[in-house]
Amino acid sequence: MNHEPHRLAVVDLEPAKSDFLSEAIAGLSRHPRTLPCKYFYDENGAELFQKICELPEYYITRTETGILRVHAHQMAHCIGARCELIGLGTGSGTKTRILLEELEEPAVYVPVDISKEQLERSTSLFRKIFPKLEILPVCADYLEPFDLPSPSRKAARKVVYFPGSTIGNFEPPAAMTFLRRVVDLCGNDGGLLIGVDLRKDRNVLERAYNDSAGVTAQFNLNLLARANRELDANFDLRHWRHYAIYNPDEGRIEIYLISEIDQTVRIKDRQFHFHAGEKIITEYSYKHTPQGFIGLARKAGFEFVRMWTDNGHWFGVFYFTAKL
């Protein structure tokens, strides 16, 4: 009997357009103006990000993937057998596949992603690669509380996998709040395997977010294109440009969209006036030191177990356990 139609069901908690609208209006009403980076990832944005991951300047994905290829067996040993692996924002799943292939008898895999199209594609692929593994996809904004589906098999522990250095998009107080929520999600003796971009030469960092092919610029500008499509906005993309710079005092990359002229933009029935040179903050990407991040996680309720890194110490994959 073919149960595939049932198995392909996605728990759909995808944010509504009304959420995007309210957050866009709130962010553009502030000074400095902001747009939330979580809305980068519509279908076009997800495809552009996949292209970014393959760029020569963008070291993050290939460095983290390299760490996994060398050390995934050790990570799996720390995680232990029969875990429930909860993947937050795992995208196409390339890194998750490396980890799953090393895990001992994983009980269930729960990928959680804001991009429904990408989630459906990766889930379909994973069900072919791991036909015996229960996979329960959830389309949700994992920055907000969400309910986990109930697996058919009881797991030994819950382990959250959060790759890609997305934790860097949180300002420190928000990072603490998020990590405390992950502690609750894991439960006592659960685990967190998390990718963290480490501090390094600013030229390396700035090249990664200002690639010569201009793909990151397209990715950033797609946020305005999405607002035009979904929010009845009228951003003229010809009059906006991408800009990214490292702020050493804050230890973060700052990504902006800059208005090149004096202009007025409409979103629904609201109007926003921009001066030439005025910026919209679309993303911060904090770069951590190993000890600094371990300290942050400890304050949230995690105990540090181990970190794996590359030869240049550009990126770290950390494993923590939760103690409630």
Report the distance separating Cα 151 and Cα 320, nearest Å.
23
The yes-or-no verdict on residue 140 having pLDDT over 90 is no
pLDDT at 323: 82
pLDDT at 324: 75
pLDDT at 14: 60
pLDDT at 15: 58
pTM for this prediction: 0.90
pLDDT at 141: 85
pLDDT tens digit string along 19-67? 899 999 999 999 999 999 989 988 899 899 999 999 999 999 999 999 9
How large a percentage of the chain has pLDDT more than 70?
95
pLDDT tens digit string along 210-265? 999 999 999 999 999 999 999 999 999 999 999 999 999 999 999 999 999 999 99
The yes-or-no verdict on residue 124 having pLDDT over 50 is yes
How large a percentage of the chain has pLDDT more than 90?
84
The single-letter code of the amino acid at 288 is H
Report the distance separating Cα 120 and Cα 115, nearest Å.
9
118: confidence class by pLDDT, cuts 50, 70, 90? confident
Question: What is the average pLDDT across 145-160?
Answer: 92
pLDDT at 3: 38
For 302, which DSSP code? E
pLDDT tens digit string along 54-107? 999 999 999 999 999 999 999 999 999 999 999 998 888 899 999 999 999 999
The yes-or-no verdict on residue 18 having pLDDT over 80 is no
User: What structural domains does the chain harbor?
Assistant: 1-231+287-324 (3.40.50.150)
pLDDT at 321: 97
What is the DSSP track for 239-301? GEEEEEEEETTTTEEEEEEEESS-EEEEETTEEEEE-TT-EEEEEEEE-B-HHHHHHHHHHHT
Cα angle value 167/169/173 (rounded, 5°): 80
Listed ranges 75-89, 109-123, 136-150; the one with the highest mean pLDDT: 75-89
Cα angle value 203/208/212 (rounded, 5°): 100
